[in-house]
Amino acid sequence: MTLRTIPGEAGDNATGIYLDGLVETQQDYVVAYSANDSGNETDERNVFLAFVDRDTLNVRTVQLTDYEAGSSYGASLPYLVKQGNQIFILWNETKNGKSTDQLCWAVYKDG
């Protein structure tokens, strides 16, 4: 099972991906991460949710943000918080790799 393909060659230390915790829903395991396609640690990142089916281990990915490549804005490491049948996804917006102190969030409702 692969949550996301990492760009670059084997042994590259910079992946451009920040991965957060895991929560369990009725049908899936959910992982939040921020990533870019360049593998460069300083490039903008977008926030994604990966849903792993508990029975088949098939992965479905949803992109939550749409920061443009080459822009100075992106997303920090996302956090997952489960409350009942809701999952809150929290992250800070970044500018040039530094936090803007702008808290962003989304909610996923299970069921």
19-49 confidence digits (pLDDT tens):
887 899 989 999 999 988 766 666 688 999 9
Q: Give the per-residue SS3 of 69-101.
A: CCCCEEECCCEEEEECCEEEEEEEEEECCEEEE
Query: Counting Cβ atoms within 10 Å, is residue 34 exposed (0-12), middle (13-18) or buried (19+)?
Result: buried
Comparing 11 with 22, the larger pLDDT belongs to 22
- pTM metric for this prediction: 0.87
Distance (Å, whole) CA 71 – CA 62:
21
pLDDT of 4 over the 90 cut: no
